[in-house]
Amino acid sequence: MNDIKQSESSAKHGALHGLRVIDLSRVLGGPYGTQALADHGAEVIKLEPPDGDETRGWGPPFLDETAWYYVGVNRNKKGMAVDLSCDEGRAILWQLLEGADVLVENFKPGTLARWGMDYERDLRPRFPRLIHCAVSGFGADGPLGGLPGYDAVIQAMAGLMSVNGEREGPALRIGLPIVDMVTGLNALAGILLALAEREKSGQGQSVDIALYDCGVSLLHPHLPNFFGNGRTPQRSGNAHPNIAPYDSYATRTAPIFLAVGNDRQFAKLCAHLGIPALAEDPRFADNRSRCAHRAELKAALEARLAAHECEPLARELMASGVPCGPVQTVDAVAAHPHTRHRGMLVEMDGYRGTGTPVKLSRTPATYRTKPPALGGDTRRVLDALGIDRETQARLFAAGVVKG
């Protein structure tokens, strides 16, 4: 009977209902991962320094004096403002950890140890079931260990910029913080793996997630290609280094991106464009040949595409089984009916956000609260910890907490 009730509760509140996460992370990687935990039902208590997560000021645009950058990755969380650099602030954290399943932090390596909260030495003996997830730039040791890491810096150092940009142009930063976001997803995956293992062993463990590792992990297929041929990968614009036609192509109106992955799809493309003989041309008969004759292939395709409007053609090709799509702007993506149909827009009480891409059939994600104001839940969390109002007043007056 208890199992049935627990199953019903999970279905109503999310797959991670009952899980408590203490989130000490700031900026993007950690908060992105903890928002995913919160969307799926975990209770996430976010502790910020009294001045707040620095991304609160990363605007414009702003929502009620808080940058939309912060708003984008901190919904469904309870917010506290606590000065962890002082003993009394850390005493509150120790109390929070008494009932916690997961601790997420992205302090510079060594910070927790300096505070008497090293995982192996201090946390593990006291909280043997606790999952500790440390997000850092380069990890704690090694030639770059302990150095600070930021998304764009890792994009540069991990080789991502070297393969991004036009063939004759300079190396370019990818136009979104992809390393930070993948780091958040890897933190999420690591936490869930550790929780799954804890079900068998009853023991927690530490999860080590470094931006540098996550950046290097994104080098597919460039790193495998380098392993295979020893040649340093170069920039190729929108073209894929291993597949053709896999590039953006001019039409009469706007660019279309063709992602043709096999000979059958290529034959369908050529037939739809009225050039079936192109698929039988020895230069284009298979992917290896097409890659060897990219320039001729692009010229032949664009000569036919010039007669077509991008969006109608994309719809027709997709319907016929040819992977492609118009190159859309962000406003067009937000307005697209499929974006809303897939639940990728979240709206509540002045808040707009990006929905979760993880769709669970029985225990779906829920969107419960807007991102917290700085210290917006401090008093409620202190009450729940049993800290009396006189003590709370002293902590507020001393600047240990804010709310």
Active site positions, annotated: 180
Per DSSP, 355 falls in state P
Which residue matches tokens 């279905």?
11
